[in-house]
Amino acid sequence: MANKPTTHPAVGSSTVRPAKAPTAQKTMANTNRWSTRVLVTIALLCAISVLLSFVEFPLLPGVAWLSYDASIMPAAVCGFAFGPAAGLACGIISVVAHGILFADFTGALMNLLVVIGFIPPSALVYKKIHTLKGAIIGLVLGIVFAVIMAVLGNLVVTPAWLGVPLDAVVAMIVPILIPFNLLKGLLNAILTLIVYKAISNLITPKKDQVKGR
């Protein structure tokens, strides 16, 4: 009986190895999420956020002690571009820097609560629904959570650290605190949409860019 032709094991293995190499290279090519360019952009947005925290003005007549600044907007843009973690980090850095520069730790804590309420929900929804509709839904949720966090913060922080009676804080919730924080959140949302639309394709990594967003 004639011997059957056999294939040398080395031949079989040599035909498989070249097919695996491109897969490994492709996987490595997609791990540039936190590249140097992205980190520099996040740092720049943090710096802009700190600078904007110095520009304050009142929103409600007769309530000069509640002022608005647009420092949360760069952090929200950062969250839309690079994800919730990056946006939250940018917001926290801005709040801490402003609190240290002004020695206003009570205000920093209140702003931190608003940052935690506004940025993660909006960035998370936009990450899942990467459209204008998703951005609007996320920002609306961010406004709602930011208002809740601001009210809770005033109920806890203001009486404990500033000595304001709790009854006085409760009396301000409906006529002052909710309208102010709703208006503040609305301004932040509008500015975020405008600025992010204008610069999204400049700051977002090319692999994550979406045409027409």
Model confidence band, residue 133 (pLDDT cutoffs 50, 70, 90): very high
Residue 27: per-residue pLDDT: 40
Residue 200: per-residue pLDDT: 87
pLDDT at 197 over 80: yes
User: Among all chains, which residue has been given the structure tokens 């206003």?
Assistant: 104
Contact criterion met (CB below 8 Å) for 124 and 115: no
The pLDDT tens digits for 137-180 are 999 999 999 999 999 999 999 888 888 899 999 999 999 999 99
The pLDDT tens digits for 12-54 are 444 445 555 444 444 444 444 557 888 999 999 999 999 999 9
117 vs 101, residue with greater confidence: 117
**Global pTM?**
0.79
97 vs 25, residue with greater confidence: 97
Virtual torsion, Cα 122, 187, 49, 129, nearest 10 deg: 20
pLDDT at 211 over 90: no
Model confidence band, residue 204 (pLDDT cutoffs 50, 70, 90): low
Q: Which of 213, 81, 138 is nearest to 90 (CA)?
A: 81
